[in-house]
Amino acid sequence: MPGPWKTVVSKDAPALARSVAERLVELSRTPGSAPIAIALSGGSTPKRLYETLASPQFIQDVHWDRLEFFFGDERSVAPSDPDSNYGMAERALLSHIRSKAYRMRAEIGDAESYQRLLEEHVAAKRDGVPVLDLVLLGLGTDGHTASLFPGTKALHETRRLVVMNEVAQLKTRRMTFTYPLINAARRVWILVSGADKHEIVSRCIAAHEGASIDRRWPILGVRPEQGELVWWIDEAAAGGREKR
């Protein structure tokens, strides 16, 4: 049975980024010494979060030594390319902190190595699937998340945890986590802002509230088995929706 899910609505994109950053402060201060494994995402809303985390307040408040960063997806380019998710996260946040970060080498297409790296660094559940403490995701207007795009093969993957996914509509291939890895996580936070996302957000939330899983929009395959699922959205994306 999927775990609980909720939406948190913030006034606007900066407020959303601050709310998520504040939760990350708490997460980084979880008692214990084990590294806290977080998968980062590409996209404009996640980018704003990284920039917020790089502000003096959060640089000071987050216990960066506890955090280890991975990536949930990557474009087939070198990190110096403006399209690289790693490059974006590095400029916005990683170059300002001392946490370890492991990039996906999507430009050489080696998804198996990235899966092995996760298996080495992140404790697994009984079936061998690593359990990330947090997977951050964005959402496209077509319902894609990570690089799980509508109509692509990776949506049907049940065994491999990281794959190269042919994305015909973008005439490219990208490396991406698959559902079995995302849905094993302790927490999955979906970050969405802006009026252009209102339609897809309201459709997806309505579908979430229904009993059946609809795979039309890849985001709806994100249903953590045990972990929490939080939709962090701003009022523009929510279209005036109340906090629940």
Structure-block tokens of residue 119: 């298996």
Sign, CA torsion 69/70/75/79:
positive
- Looking at 17, 42, 92, 103, which residue binds ligand 6PG (CB under 6 A)? 42
By the 8 A CB rule, do 176 and 129 touch? no
Cβ closer to ligand 6PG: 7 or 45?
45
Q: Does 41 bind ligand 6PG (CB under 6 A)?
A: yes
Q: Does 87 bind ligand 6PG (CB under 6 A)?
A: no
Total residues at interface with ligand 6PG (CB under 6 A)? 13
By the 8 A CB rule, do 138 and 191 touch? yes
Q: How far is the CB of 96 from ligand 6PG (least distance, A)?
A: 21
Give residue 76's identity as a one-letter amino acid code: S
- Looking at 87, 130, 140, 224, which residue binds ligand 6PG (CB under 6 A)? 140
By the 8 A CB rule, do 181 and 162 touch? yes
- Looking at 87, 138, 143, 221, which residue binds ligand 6PG (CB under 6 A)? 138
> Judging by DSSP bridges, how do beta strands 73-75 and 100-101 pair with one another?
unpaired
CA angle 191, 196, 200 (to 5 degrees): 65
Q: Does 145 bind ligand 6PG (CB under 6 A)?
A: yes
Could you give the CA distance from residue 139 to residue 193 in angstroms, rounded to a whole number?
A: 9
Site string for ligand 6PG, 150-189 (x = CB under 6 A): ----------------------------------------
By the 8 A CB rule, do 223 and 209 touch? no
- Looking at 10, 84, 85, 99, which residue binds ligand 6PG (CB under 6 A)? 85
Summarize as ranges the residues that interact with ligand 6PG (CB under 6 A).
Answer: 41-45, 73, 85, 138-140, 144-146
